[in-house]
Amino acid sequence: MKSPVHRCRDVERQAACLQTEQPCVPVSQHDPSSMWFIRDACGIVCGVITWMLVFYAEFVVLFVMLLPSKNLTYSLVNGTVFNTLAFLALASHFRAMCTDPGAVPTGNATKEYIESLQLKPGQVVYKCPKCCSIKPDRAHHCSVCKRCIRKMDHHCPWVNNCVGENNQKYFVLFTMYIALISLHSLVMVVFHFLYCFEDDWTKCSSFSPPATVILLILLCFEALLFLIFTSVMFGTQVHSICTDETGIEQLKKEERRWGKKTKWMNMKAVFGHPFSIFWFIPLTQPGKAHGKAESYQYVV
C-alpha cells in the first residue's frame, strides 16, 4: 500500500530498508511534570496582547461602567458575571498555551525501535524526516513547534501553541469564554451609553466625558471584533469535533482511515466521560474518554 504524498515516506520493517536511513538523534519525549511552552516570538507577543486586551476590558467595565453606577445590584451582578467569565477565559488560554498538545517523541525512528514493534509482513509505519519520529496515524508536523502533533488541528499564534489531541478542550473553552465576555461587554456598553444620554455625562462616569466616550468606543470595537472572530472559531472547532476531522484533514481533504463515531462520542473524546460541569472548567483535565486513539496505528 502506498502512502499519500503528505505522509512523507514509509519505513518498512525489512532491515535492508532501515540501513539506508540517516541516524536519528536520541529519543526526546516531553516530561508530563514539566510545563510545555513554545519559544516563538510571534506567539509570545500575541499571547501577551490577548491578556492585555482582557485586562483593558476589565478596566473599562469596572472603573468606567460598574463602580460609578448608582445601582448596587446591577454592579454586583454584572461584575461577578464578567469577572468569572474573564477568569475562565484567561485560565483556558493559559492551559491551551502550556499544555502539551500531543507531541510525538522525537528520534524514535531507529532500526532497533521499529524492530521492537514486531510488525506483521505488509505493515508499514510512517516516519517524519523533519523530527525523525514515527508518526501516529492522523499526526502532522508543525514547523513552529518543530514536533509532530497527534490530531493536530492548526497552530494558533494567539495561544502560542498547536491545537491538538491534548489541549483542544482548553482552546474551545477559550474561544467560548472570550465570545461570552465580548457579548457581555457590548451589552453593558449599550446600556451605559443610554444611561449617560439620559443623565448628565459628568455623573455617569468618574472620567471626563471625552475620555469616557473614547474608552467605551474602544471597548465596543474590541468586543465586536473578538465576538465575531471567537464565535467563528468556536463554531468551526465544535464542527471539527463532531465530524471527527481536524482542520488540516479538511484542508488537505485526506482520505478517512479511522472509524466513524457518533457526535456525542466525539465530544466525550475531547471533553471527557461522562458529561459533567467539569466539561466547562479549564482547571480539570479530560477524563478517560471513549474514542481515544492508540499511540500508534499501523496501516496495512
User: Which is nearest to 184 in space by CA: 52, 300, 85?
Assistant: 85
Cα–Cα separations (whole angstroms), residue 240 to 48, 60, 288: 27, 35, 20
Q: What is the pTM of this model?
A: 0.84
User: What cell was used for 12?
Assistant: 518498512
Select which of 132, 156, 162, 196 is catalytic.
156
Cis check for the bond before 210: say yes or no (omega within 30 of 0).
no
CB count within 10 Å of CB 181 equals: 26
Single-letter residue type at 11: V
> Which pLDDT value is given to residue 77?
96
Backbone angles phi, psi at 35, to 5 degrees: -80, 135
Which region, left, alpha or beta, applies to residue 43 given φ > 0 means left and ψ of -120 to 50 means alpha? alpha
Strand order in the sheet with 124-128: 9-12, 124-128, 133-135
pLDDT digit string (tens) for the chain, length 300 residues:
444 434 333 333 333 333 334 455 555 556 555 678 999 999 999 999 999 999 999 999 999 999 888 889 999 999 999 999 999 999 999 999 999 999 988 877 777 877 777 777 777 778 888 888 888 888 899 999 999 999 999 999 999 999 999 999 999 999 999 999 999 999 999 998 888 887 777 777 788 888 989 999 999 999 999 999 999 999 999 999 999 899 888 888 777 777 788 899 999 999 988 888 999 999 888 864 444 444 444 443
The reply to whether 156 belongs to the active site is yes
Cα–Cα separations (whole angstroms), residue 171 to 138, 143, 176, 191, 211: 19, 20, 9, 31, 35
